[in-house]
Amino acid sequence: MTIPDSSGYDYMMENGSIELPCKPEEERRIVQELTAKAESNLREGNLYYPISTRWFRGWQRYTGQTEGAYPFAAHSVESQSVIPEEDRPGVIDNTDIIVNGGDNKEADDDPQLIRTLEDGRDYILVPQEVWAKFTEWYKGGPALPRKMISVGAQHKQFVVEVFPLSLRLIDSRDQSEVSIRLSKKASLNDLYVKVCRLKGLNCEKAQIWDYFNKQKQTMLLSSSQTLEESNLQMDQDILLEVLSDGFGTDSTGNGLALVQVEPSRSTFSIAGGPTMSNGNATSYNPDIYQRSTSTSSTYGNIEDGDDALKPATRGDRGGLAGLQNLGNTCFMNSSLQCLVHTPPLVDYFLQDYNDEINRQNPLGMHGELALAFGELLRKLWSPGRAPVAPRAFKGKLARFAPQFSGYNQHDSQELLAFLLDGLHEDLNRVRQKPYIETKDYDGRPDEEIADELWRYHKARNDSVIVDICQGQYKSTLVCPVCDKISITFDPFMYLSLPLPSTATRSMTVTVFYGDGSGLPMPFTVTVLKQGCCKDLNQALGVACCLHNDEYLLLAEVYEHRIYRYLDNPSEPLATIKDDEHIVAYRLPKREADLTRLEICHRYQDNERKPFLTPLVTILEDPHSGAGIDLAVKRMLSPLRRKSFLTPTTVPHSGENGCTFKALEERMKSSGTQLGPARLSNEEIEPEGMSSRELSFRLCITDEKGHSCRPIVKDSPIRPARKVKVMLDWTDKEHELYDSSYLKDLPDVHKSGILAKKTKQEAISLFSCLDAFLKEEPLGPDDMWYCPRCKEHRQASKKLDLWRLPDILVFHLKRFSYSRWLKNKLDTFVNFPIHNLDLSKYVKSKDAFEGSHVYELYAISNHYGGLGGGHYSAYCKLTDGKWYHFDDSHVSSVNESEIKTSAAYVLFYQRVKPRANGKVGKPSDGHMAC
């Protein structure tokens, strides 16, 4: 049902009363005010409602709100041109985001969202007050209330729990199963109340077990402990046992004597030191540190942290256990397997590291992350190949890094970065960080500065992670104005390398003269497929013979409007689709000090629909409508039909003469200075024109083209960075000017039916490293403050490797994100497995580091596309063999098979020199790897 936006239509409400609907702009205003009020009063327990994006986008178009501007949208999407004629949306329809049908075993009647949905892409979250207004205006649904909760142990933040914790309740009396849902912040008391109400039981007679993998793990005692703190996972089993006259009942109905079962306690801490038992310290006794026989079932070895572990060494044939997927946790499993197979970390965490745990570090996690990681590593390195469920570790991760909580897919490299930094802070040997005042390093040798800064860094940061994983690079910044050089030496934990692309694409762009000196002309250029707008600008500049005092302003034209300006030189070209229309306006470089005039066109009829391509020019301080009128005339002059050129017209290629000077005088007298663009002799005011009448019918309009205010010669023009006018084409304009030049812009690329797809060539790891280290200008959003100029400058930046760590991690930047697009590169990167020689890249002249040759020992892989991809890992064990760790499944793999286009994060270890001082045959930096 659609209701036209007209005050003449009545809206029949369900209660029979008649009510006029709000106008679109009124609805938008109300929703914005209610949203802002909700944002200013965030607290736990606030209700939010998911609404189907499909319906919500229709409402946005109807009310004129820019899509992607909604504050609760997680991912900004493309703005669409406002369509004032858009019909009023029908009733709210959320059926496309909820699970259809329903399961008879569901204990909750409320509909559930489909698990794979993403906030901002598939649904939008609105506050309770906004939902109430929407249902008042549109009806429909169903309503899907979700509560706001607080997450994060260190830095509290509010999130909406869109997917509550779903548990499968198994009744031991008849083995029946039913799903129940609670917030992960609900307590075990809440769980007992819900289960007993569902089963009609007295809570005193109920006993609920953590039944993960259908094995009794821990009895869940009714308490204030939350379900999250109990490490309960999405869709896992819990077991209900019912007591009868002091006895329990098993699945066969036989009475069971009630035996109090307590979680087994380890007499040896995971850090290798004494543990606490009933509050008393117990010294380490290796004879009693052995596996409990109470968990000898198939999955008895599956929960990390529930029982004691036998001390393992890398010679005990450990390290072959997989990690269970707890619900889209393959990203975590992949990073963890790479880390737990890092030889120096294995040696460290299998020893006693209790004394190095820093529980007072405000930047750390009170040692809890290091303890959880060490416990998990020991579990994975114990003899045997039973898969481990990292529930306790995931619980710690959710507490200290809530961005990785929930059950959505995340980035393995982002998790790796958090783990390395978190482990460092938890194991930082520095208890009191000294204050170190920076010095002026001008004129001092680089080696002296680098060593001094490294000592300062180690004085504040000293851990096993720094010892083995941190290196140092040299950063050189040069001011483009005063040539001031700034050199710093910064530590790094890993290197994020771009993937240079060799694939190209053909792009057609129509170039417009911003001074009206010529007709628009399409140019087709070839650019790198994975390039940016800067590359397109450079190619176009060469093609159209751009002058030194000009620059090109790129824009996308959609529905005869400028949809967006591509003024960010770092904007990826991948955001420009082949079927889009891109234009470029030639403007003077000093345009930053002038007013940009945007001229749009529309038919002079009842509908006044937009048509033709907008024109862009610049003016110096326009004060009145006369200046706007003259600028429009100048921009249309190349379109003037020959039959209407006056005999006195001088060709543009000649001198402007006295006519140009006379026009300049008139502009000055009208209060408008002449812009840098030249004016032709055709721009002569017709005789007999009224003193207030313009040559064209012009209106000043807003950014969206909604409101229009007609202007005359003496209309005051408010000073602004950009002025937008609407030109109404009458029969006179069509008679004087040939508008065909502004019609039918060519597509960016018109591919033929038989066009061949360009295949991405393989690239080497060295070419990625070269791209990372090359000199390039900083982006406009990353300007550098020059201490000499006292201004922010777009300086050039050059990186050089200075000090390399024993463990060198390369992150291949396969994913690119922008406001309009997410993209993944499946380019095959050819990387060395043996003898990766980086000597030529290290600029330090000191030989204190020893070898610069590395061996590969682990790879984090990503398969598939964005959102629906999968992670796994390749790791090399001490026997020299490679294994594929795919969640729970572990299998051997040939070394020749580990090079794939899925390689995402590469882990290398420094090769120690042999007795003769050699480290093996180094690889050629520019030969095939």
The C-alpha atoms of residue 631 and residue 587 are separated, in whole angstroms, by 14
Distance set, CA 188 to CA 193, 245, 310 (Å):
9, 24, 32
3-class secondary structure, 62: helix
Burial class (CB in 10 A: 0-12, 13-18, 19+), 306: buried
Interstrand relation of 763-764 and 784-786 (parallel, antiparallel or unpaired): unpaired
Q: What is the dihedral of CA 664, 669, 675, 678, to 10 degrees?
A: -20
Q: What is the dihedral of CA 69, 72, 74, 78, to 10 degrees?
A: -20
Which pLDDT score is estimated for 308?
35
- Taking the chain, what is the end-to-end CA distance rounded to the nearest angstrom? 64
Residue 130, both tokens: 């906004």
Q: What residue type is assigned to position 527 of the chain?
A: V
Q: Are 229 and 240 in contact (CB under 8 A)?
A: no
Q: Where are the alpha helices (DSSP H) in 720-775?
A: 731-736, 765-773
Query: Residue 857's closest CA among 340, 465, 419?
Result: 340
Among 330, 544, 875, 929, the one annotated catalytic: 330
Q: Are 595 and 620 in contact (CB under 8 A)?
A: yes
- Residue that has been written with the tokens 């610069």 in this structure: 852
Q: Are 564 and 556 in contact (CB under 8 A)?
A: yes
Which pLDDT score is estimated for 273?
41
Residue 312, both tokens: 């393992």
The C-alpha atoms of residue 83 and residue 89 are separated, in whole angstroms, by 13
Which pLDDT score is estimated for 645?
58
Bridge-partner residues for 584, per DSSP? 511, 554
Q: How many residues does the chain have?
A: 929
Q: Are 502 and 830 in contact (CB under 8 A)?
A: no
Among 547, 789, 870, 889, the one annotated catalytic: 870
Is the link from the previous residue into 142 a cis peptide, with omega within 30 of 0?
A: yes
Q: Would you give the distance in Å from CA 834 to the centre of its chain? A: 34
The C-alpha atoms of residue 805 and residue 809 are separated, in whole angstroms, by 9
Q: What is the pTM of this model?
A: 0.67
Q: What residue type is assigned to position 48 of the chain?
A: Y
Q: Are 384 and 445 in contact (CB under 8 A)?
A: no
Walk along the chain (929 residues) in steps of 10 and give the mean pLDDT of each run: 35 40 86 92 92 92 66 38 60 89 50 85 93 93 92 81 92 92 92 92 91 91 90 91 66 41 38 37 30 32 41 63 92 96 96 93 92 95 91 89 80 94 95 82 83 93 96 92 88 94 87 93 90 91 92 93 87 88 91 81 80 90 80 91 57 34 41 38 41 79 78 80 88 90 90 52 90 84 86 89 95 76 82 95 73 94 83 94 96 95 96 66 43
Kindly report the backbone phi and psi dihedral angles of residue 435, in degrees, each rounded to the nearest multiple of 5, phi listed first: -85, 130
Which pLDDT score is estimated for 421?
95
Q: What is the dihedral of CA 352, 353, 355, 356, to 10 degrees?
A: 170
Q: Are 903 and 859 in contact (CB under 8 A)?
A: yes
The C-alpha atoms of residue 791 and residue 786 are separated, in whole angstroms, by 6
Burial class (CB in 10 A: 0-12, 13-18, 19+), 759: exposed
Would you list the DSSP string of 294-307?
Answer: GG-STTTT-BTTSS
Q: In 263-344, where do the E strands start and end?
A: 275-277, 280-282
Which pLDDT score is estimated for 483?
86
Q: Are 618 and 595 in contact (CB under 8 A)?
A: yes
Q: Are 379 and 321 in contact (CB under 8 A)?
A: yes
Query: Residue 583's closest CA among 515, 523, 637?
Result: 523
Tell me the Ramachandran region of residue 230: left when phi exceeds 0, alpha when psi lies from -120 to 50, beta otherwise. Answer: alpha
Bridge-partner residues for 523, per DSSP? 509
Q: Are 75 and 120 in contact (CB under 8 A)?
A: yes
Query: Residue 191's closest CA among 107, 306, 102?
Result: 107
The C-alpha atoms of residue 553 and residue 771 are separated, in whole angstroms, by 27
Residue 257's Cβ-side half-sphere holds a number of Cα atoms within 13 Å equal to 1
Sequence-distant (≥ 6) Cβ neighbours of residue 649 within 8 angstroms: 680, 681, 682
Give kind and range of the element (H or E) at residue 801: strand 796-803
Query: Residue 186's closest CA among 163, 216, 164?
Result: 164
Sequence-distant (≥ 6) Cβ neighbours of residue 152 within 8 angstroms: 399, 400, 402
The C-alpha atoms of residue 584 and residue 521 are separated, in whole angstroms, by 10
Sequence-distant (≥ 6) Cβ neighbours of residue 441 within 8 angstroms: 449, 487
The C-alpha atoms of residue 355 and residue 358 are separated, in whole angstroms, by 8
Residue 330 falls in the annotated catalytic set? yes
Q: Are 377 and 393 in contact (CB under 8 A)?
A: no
Residue 509, both tokens: 């762009």
CA angle, 444 then 773 then 897, to 5°: 135
Bridge-partner residues for 807, per DSSP? 909
Which pLDDT score is estimated for 778?
82
Q: Are 194 and 180 in contact (CB under 8 A)?
A: yes
Sequence-distant (≥ 6) Cβ neighbours of residue 403 within 8 angstroms: 410
Interstrand relation of 92-93 and 140-141 (parallel, antiparallel or unpaired): parallel
3-class secondary structure, 285: coil
Q: Are 108 and 6 in contact (CB under 8 A)?
A: no
Residue 78, both tokens: 């493309």
639-656 b/e (C-beta count within 10 Å ≥ 16 → b): bbeeeeeeeebeebeeee
Q: Are 126 and 48 in contact (CB under 8 A)?
A: yes
Residue 527, both tokens: 């650019």
